[in-house]
Each structure stands twice: as structure tokens, then as C-alpha cells.
Structure 1
Amino acid sequence: MPCVKIDMIKGVRSPDEIKHLAEVVQEVFLDKFAAPNRDRYQVITQHEPYELIFEDTGLNIPRTEKLVFIQIFQQGRSADQKRALYASLAERLEKDCGVPGSDLVISCNRNEKEDWSFGYGRAQFLEGDL
């Protein structure tokens, strides 16, 4: 059950382009992380250009206004699954959404079953609902 935060610069993409980008991200998750079909948790936030500051950690990676930062909160994926996800996201987002690989930054964070409540103040994973 990945939860995905997608951050980008405001005004660079149309609403339809943003929806398409979110769809592509979901397709990659279904394929590479074996997420169930109706397991979709995405938060998309647009920022002023001065609110997203992404330098390249000395890697000489050029950034543009097309920058997309994807934060993934997930459980139980292997390093190989994460590598496959990163590569597939880079390939698909460039091909389908015009996001250059140099403008894609991904961070994958692990969480546990007790870290989630899907509603009603209940811990559905711990209570056996999921």
C-alpha cells in the first residue's frame, strides 16, 4: 500500500497533464510494486518556483521548471523492486509526460502496518480488516 506525494512547480503543467502524470505513476506502481488495483493514495502539490529547491548533491544534474519530486511511503519492497520502480518511473514519465530524467527526484520511505489508519480512527492493518 504505497502512499505517494508528488510535488511540482505551479503553472508548468495543465490539469490534464497533472492527471496524466498521476495515472502514469499509478500504472508503474501496479506493475513494479504489485500494488492492488484500488490501492491508490496520491497527494499532488504545486509550489511556487522558490518553494522547491533541489540541488544535485555534486552530481552535475541540471534541473528545470519541469522538476517532479516523488515521495513514496511503502512497506516491504526490496531494493531490487525499488530500483525497478525508479527506472520505470524515469522511463515512463519522460516518454509519456515529458519529464526529463534530470528533473525526476524520488525518495522511498519505509513504514509499518501500525503507521496507518484509513478512516474512522481505526488501525485496519492491525485490526485484521486488511
Structure 2
Amino acid sequence: MPLLRFDLYEGRTDAELKALLDAVHRAMLAAFKVPERDRYQIVNEHKAPRMIMEDTGLDIPRTKNFVFIQVTTRPRSREMKEQFYRLTVEELEKSCGIAPSDVMINLVTCTDEDWSFGNGRAQFLTGEL
């Protein structure tokens, strides 16, 4: 945990997707200090007419390389969130050539009682995690 959902335009190769997921995982490890195998990532690819992602009037250019990342996570400090935003765009630009203007991130915060990793138990509450 965190759970990361990626929405992007279709057309990337498997190698490009792997590079993208690996880059964001590195940013998450550095910013949130989670274990290496704490990796939950889901990719949803969309045809261009099925995803419209504008810039809320901020004059941020978007291209076919646009990536929306939604992170469901336990509470994090403001500093951790800002570091994650910064490291994510740095990693994606360096590793994938994705411009920072093509990255949008949303964090959804939930508490320990909102997670079950399997077996019908809330592992954060039981002490298993």
C-alpha cells in the first residue's frame, strides 16, 4: 500500500509502461519510505475520445503522453506529498521523456481500518503490518 492507478492514452509499449511504473515506484519509495515490495499499481489505457484531461485554466499544455496518477494511501505529511509530486515528475521526465506538464497526480487518503490485504482481515489493525 499505497495503491496507484494510472490512466493514460493507449499506445505505449510494454517496455514503456514498465519504465513508467518503475519510475513512479522509485518516487514513491523515496517520498513515502515504504518497503520495496509495497507495490500495487493498476494501469487503465483509454482511447483519446474517452479521456479528456484539461488544465483547469492554468495554461498547462497536455499531449498524448499525459498520465493521470491517483494514489490511495494512508495519511502522509504535506512535505511527503510535495516530495512525491516533485520526484514523480523528475523520474518520469528522466526515465520516460514525459514532460512534467503531462503529469497530474491526485492523492486519496484513508485510514488503517480501510485496508484488507486478504484473508478477510484488516492487517494494519491486527498488527500483521
For residues 70-94 of structure 1, give each alpha carbon's deviation from its aligned partner in whole angstroms, at most 9, with x where no partner exists. Answer: 0011112111111111011111101
Unaligned runs of 5+ in 2: none
Equivalent AA in structure 2 for residue 30 of structure 1? L
- Give the Cα separation in 2 of the matches to 1:75 and 1:115: 9
Give TM-score scaled by structure 1 length.
0.94
- Give the Cα separation in 2 of the matches to 1:10 and 1:62: 19
- Give the Cα separation in 1 of the matches to 2:36 and 2:97: 25
- Give the Cα separation in 1 of the matches to 2:75 and 2:97: 30
Paired residues in the alignment total 129
- Runs of 4+ in structure 1 over 6 Å off: none
Give 1:52 deviation, angstroms.
1.4
Q: 1:123 maps to which residue?
A: 122
Q: 1:100 maps to which residue?
A: 99
Identity, in percent, stands at 46
Give TM-score scaled by structure 2 length.
0.95
Q: 1:10 maps to which residue?
A: 10
Q: 1:80 maps to which residue?
A: 79
Q: CA RMSD in A?
A: 1.0
- Give the Cα separation in 1 of the matches to 2:23 and 2:110: 23
Q: 1:43 maps to which residue?
A: 42
